[in-house]
């Protein structure tokens, strides 16, 4: 690597293009912090910035055979980072938008058609049987919360326990029911009851 320490960016690019690992390592060490800082500035997330920086340098090596037209190494790295960040943020935004759409759709369907028309009797029976399998305290907390609409404080008063314990029972019961019941049914049910 010492051979490339004082090399120009053009020499580094030429070395990387030729498949020289030393040139790549020198470029990596020279530009890692700067690419990371730029990615952090754009993404506002250390995790995303680190992922993007790794992706940029992975791409630099994997696509080295296409680098013969690149004249500005830092510019190339920063543009690659910017494009990857925008792509990642668009993907995250579209996922969040889609989940919000699904939730709204299910809530409106439930209101306009009634839960009985959406759920078959078999699925409702499965839910009731699954609730009966919960430990008694979890079952009671779940029913009071999700079926009767009481808040944690009200449930704590009714059951004579702390709000923290109520929350723990509900979280445990939801986790158990998600394991026991079919995925789409559980998702829909919990959207209705949340």
pLDDT tens for 99-121 read 565 566 556 655 555 554 444 55
- Predicted confidence at residue 33, as pLDDT, reads 92
Q: What is the DSSP letter of 68?
A: G
- Predicted confidence at residue 43, as pLDDT, reads 83
Q: Cα–Cα distances in Å, from 136 out to 56, 63, 125, 131, 175?
A: 53, 60, 18, 9, 16
What would the two tokens of residue 82 be?
Answer: 């910017």
Distance of CA 113 to the CA centre of its chain: 32
Q: CA-to-CA distance for 141 and 138, rounded, in angstroms?
A: 5
Read off the pTM.
0.49
* pLDDT beneath 70, residues of the chain: 1-2, 93-124, 181-194
Q: CA-to-CA distance for 104 and 87, rounded, in angstroms?
A: 26
- Predicted confidence at residue 193, as pLDDT, reads 47
Q: Classify 73 as helix, strand or coil.
A: helix
- Is residue 44 left, alpha or beta, with left meaning phi > 0 and alpha meaning psi from -120 to 50? left
What would the two tokens of residue 95 be?
Answer: 């996922």
Residue 112, number of CB atoms within 10 A of its CB: 9
- Predicted confidence at residue 160, as pLDDT, reads 92
Domains in the chain, please, with CATH? 2-96 (1.10.1740.10), 115-193 (1.10.10.10)
Three-state SS string over 83-151 comes to HHHHHHHHHHHHHHHHHHHHHHHHHHHHHHHCHHHHCCHHHHHHHHHHHHHCCHHHHHHHHHHHHCCCC
Distance of CA 52 to the CA centre of its chain: 15
pLDDT tens for 118-136 read 445 566 677 777 888 889 9
- Predicted confidence at residue 5, as pLDDT, reads 73
- Predicted confidence at residue 112, as pLDDT, reads 53
């Amino acid at each position: 690597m010492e051979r490339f320490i004082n090399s120009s960016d053009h020499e580094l690019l030429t070395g990387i293009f030729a498949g020289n690992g030393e040139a790549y390592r020198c470029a990596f060490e020279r530009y890692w912090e700067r690419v990371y800082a730029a990615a952090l500035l754009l993404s506002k997330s250390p995790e995303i910035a680190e992922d993007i920086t790794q992706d940029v340098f992975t791409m630099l090596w994997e696509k080295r055979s296409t680098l013969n037209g690149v004249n500005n190494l830092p510019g190339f790295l920063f543009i690659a980072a910017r494009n990857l960040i925008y792509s990642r943020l668009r993907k995250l935004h579209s996922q969040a938008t889609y989940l919000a759409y699904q939730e709204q759709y299910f809530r409106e369907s439930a209101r306009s058609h009634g839960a009985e028309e959406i759920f078959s009797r078999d699925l409702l029976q499965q839910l009731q049987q699954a609730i009966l399998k919960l430990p008694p305290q979890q079952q009671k907390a779940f029913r009071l919360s999700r079926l009767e609409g009481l808040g944690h404080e009200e449930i704590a008063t009714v059951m004579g326990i702390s709000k923290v314990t109520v929350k723990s029972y509900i979280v445990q019961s939801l986790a158990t029911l998600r394991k026991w019941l079919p995925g789409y049914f559980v998702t829909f049910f919990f959207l209705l009851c949340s």
